[in-house]
Structure 1
Amino acid sequence: MIVLGGTFVLDLAVAVQAFGRRPSVFSKLRDEPEAPYEIGVCGFAPTPTSLGFTIADLKPVDWIKGADTVVVPGLEAPWAPQDPAVLDAVARAADDGARLVSLCAGAFVLGQAGVLDGRRVTTHWALADEFRAAFPKADLVEHALYVDDGQILSSGGMLASADLCLYVLGQDHGQSYANDVSRVLVSPPHRTGGQAVYAKPGPRPSGPLSPVLDWLDEHLTEPLSVEMVAAQAHMSQRTLERRFREETGESLAAWIARRRVERARALLEDSHLTVTQVAHAAGFGSTESMRRHFLTHTGTTPRSYRDTFRGTAEARRA
């Protein structure tokens, strides 16, 4: 495991807990007190972490030579150039056949080491634009919790590191073992869905179509046809569709559907409306229409989304 300046402590802690010495409570599940791996935390001591304190007890970076698995936790400023010695060590480990595991923004380090070209990879959803710009030859799977691309494994935002570490344990030592570690962590061994359910929309593009976008937001609950919007924009339907794609990157219909989903998400989190009432308040003609678009954009259902971000009624009462 490599500790760099600004390393996310949570990523590092999850990896050390998953792969390192078993906690005493593990004996209640298995009579296997020894860790299944020999681990070493490497870096240039002392190294400041994302929380301000430093880590001094670190093995030298070249300790990873010959390692079977190299884990790179996320870090505070992943776009910052990393020490050439670290990048060279990671590249050499890849050449030697080591499995490379990036957690959260750790994928940027693998990218700087030059090992991601043509590889499927993920990182924190909020860093997708920066990652694509920095490593255009990598195949970013933006909303995945984690991605297994053979030699390269990567996870999304912070707590997705637990999902990936448990997955690796299952691959190495069987699902039963990974399940028992998940019981100690009190974390599911596998979560459905992906990062899309947590992603928040970025700022709306500002351009010549801004007045039209404002008007659309004000009329989302109404039936909106291309003909109607083109009349509001004072342009032909073909020109509207072309301008819309140029300015938003989406078709008019896709943009309207996404904005309705975003409104539905806010209502599911903050209001006491029923799911049916949310569907109509967000501009969907039916709950089935909302459910279909919701699954497309978030990977989950409206009801599951509400349970995730507000908890069930039983949990709130408890």
Structure 2
Amino acid sequence: MAVLAPPGAVGFDVTAACQAFGIARLPDGTPPYEVWVCGDGPVTTTVAGAASFGLTPSHPLAAALAAGTVVVPGVARRAAPRDPAVPALLRAAYDKGIRVASICTGAFLLAEAGLLDGGRATTHWLAAGRLAADHPEVRVDPGVLFVDNGQVLTSAGLAAGIDLCLHLISRDHGAAVAARTASALVVPLRREGGTAQLLRHPGTGGDPLHATVEWLHRNLHRRLTLADIAHRTGVSVRHLHRMFRARTGTTPLRWLLWARVERARELLETTDLSVEEITRLTGFGSPVSLRTHFCRRVGAPPSAYRRTFREQHDGPAFPPAAQ
């Protein structure tokens, strides 16, 4: 795993990617990634567009061509002249079949390398208009957290870079490994819908919504209504809607549906339970309902998803953590 450090790189993007991939662990405790920071000499990184700190890469830029994935951080527009060596390296990496992913304005470097031509991509919403104007051949979507085109991936702002890292870990090693990485980072595994935050633990233990979310995760198997959730939270249904909208960017029932799909995904990856049993444990009511919602959100029916996961990861992962 190579994380580039070009001149003017956004410091958070570089260190967040290193932390996310470096902290990941497989079921037996071994790290699945060796993380290299690659660049040609010391660079000055940017923080909030003004402050800065120095960073000395551990490997030369060309070493990234030996990695399986190259992560490109955002680069401040006025921090330094563009280094033509970076787009050239990205093009060479792509031609070798190496996966390339950008965080925030790192998408500009991917675009300069021609890796986004004719495809859909995203970047920070403040820079989306500029990316579209500079590269009209790219279909820029500023309303998503990240875009996965297979070999080339792009993400929005700072936090979306972590979302993308967790997505890559999930792609490589399954949702269980990614979930434990997210837990170690104290961030949600996945956020739903545009740039709205969908928090696994929204707040502290004294927050009533935090307690409600924890209760919902323990009771996904139940046929819950809005009235049930509001009663558990100690508020009216209308106030429950306001709380969820303000804290997660979505409604209580949409959040519940997301949580059920994610639980089903984890059970498909980590157990040999039948689809019928998973349906019961996730509260979908019927296998048809599970299949419909799972296909809509994951892109494949449950049985096919499990089969593909097993083929890619040589069997189930370790048992899921208790909810």
> TM-score when scaled to structure 2?
0.58
Question: Which residue in 1 is equivalent to 2:184?
Answer: 184
Q: For residues 126 and 245 of structure 2, what CA distance do their matches in structure 1 show?
A: 19
Question: Which residue in 2 is equivalent to 1:42?
Answer: 38
Q: For residues 14 and 105 of structure 1, what CA distance do their matches in structure 2 show?
A: 15
Alignment of 1:1-318 (within 5 A): 1-20=3-22, 31-32=28-29, 34-51=30-47, 52-77=52-77, 82-195=82-195, 303-308=243-248
Q: For residues 88 and 10 of structure 1, what CA distance do their matches in structure 2 show?
A: 24
SS at match of 2:114: coil
Q: For residues 166 and 184 of structure 1, what CA distance do their matches in structure 2 show?
A: 11
> How far 1:308 sits from its partner (Å)?
4.8
* RMSD over equivalenced CA pairs, Å: 2.7
SS at match of 2:18: helix
Q: For residues 176 and 21 of structure 1, what CA distance do their matches in structure 2 show?
A: 14
Q: For residues 237 and 58 of structure 2, what CA distance do their matches in structure 1 show?
A: 52
Of stretches 72-81 and 45-54 in structure 1, the one that deviates more from structure 2 is 72-81
Letter in 1 for 2:182: S
SS at match of 1:41: strand
Q: For residues 41 and 83 of structure 1, what CA distance do their matches in structure 2 show?
A: 17
**Are the equivalent residues in 2 in contact too, given 1:167–1:178 (CA < 8 A)?**
yes
Q: For residues 80 and 110 of structure 1, what CA distance do their matches in structure 2 show?
A: 17
SS at match of 2:8: coil
> How far 1:39 sits from its partner (Å)?
2.1
**Are the equivalent residues in 1 in contact too, given 2:23–2:184 (CA < 8 A)?**
no
Aligned CA distance change for structure 1 residues 276 and 65 (closer, same or farther; 3 Å): closer
Q: For residues 196 and 182 of structure 2, what CA distance do their matches in structure 1 show?
A: 23
> How far 1:73 sits from its partner (Å)?
0.9
**Structure 1: segments with no counterpart, 5+ residues:** 198-273, 278-300, 310-318
Deviations 1:46-89 (A, max 9, x none): 10010311112431111112321110011221897521222111
Structure number with larger C-alpha Rg: 1
Aligned CA distance change for structure 1 residues 43 and 57 (closer, same or farther; 3 Å): closer
> How far 1:21 sits from its partner (Å)?
5.1
Question: Which residue in 1 is equivalent to 2:287?
Answer: none
> TM-score when scaled to structure 1?
0.59
Q: For residues 79 and 97 of structure 2, what CA distance do their matches in structure 1 show?
A: 26
When the two structures are aligned, how many residues end up with a matched partner? Answer: 205
> How far 1:107 sits from its partner (Å)?
0.3
> How far 1:305 sits from its partner (Å)?
3.3
**Are the equivalent residues in 1 in contact too, given 2:124–2:157 (CA < 8 A)?**
yes
Deviations 1:262-313 (A, max 9, x none): xxxxxxxxxxxx9989xxxxxxxxxxxxxxxxxxxxxxx765332359xxxx
**Are the equivalent residues in 1 in contact too, given 2:5–2:57 (CA < 8 A)?**
no
> How far 1:157 sits from its partner (Å)?
0.8
> How far 1:162 sits from its partner (Å)?
1.0
Aligned CA distance change for structure 1 residues 174 and 57 (closer, same or farther; 3 Å): same
Of stretches 113-122 and 77-86 in structure 1, the one that deviates more from structure 2 is 77-86
**Are the equivalent residues in 1 in contact too, given 2:147–2:155 (CA < 8 A)?**
yes
Aligned CA distance change for structure 1 residues 142 and 79 (closer, same or farther; 3 Å): farther
Aligned CA distance change for structure 1 residues 146 and 79 (closer, same or farther; 3 Å): farther
Runs of 4+ in structure 1 off by over 4 angstroms are 78-81, 274-277
Aligned CA distance change for structure 1 residues 171 and 192 (closer, same or farther; 3 Å): same
**Structure 2: segments with no counterpart, 5+ residues:** 198-235, 250-323
Q: For residues 138 and 180 of structure 2, what CA distance do their matches in structure 1 show?
A: 34
Amino-acid identity (%): 40
Aligned CA distance change for structure 1 residues 276 and 188 (closer, same or farther; 3 Å): closer
SS at match of 1:193: coil
Q: For residues 137 and 81 of structure 1, what CA distance do their matches in structure 2 show?
A: 23
**Are the equivalent residues in 1 in contact too, given 2:20–2:165 (CA < 8 A)?**
yes
Q: For residues 275 and 174 of structure 1, what CA distance do their matches in structure 2 show?
A: 36
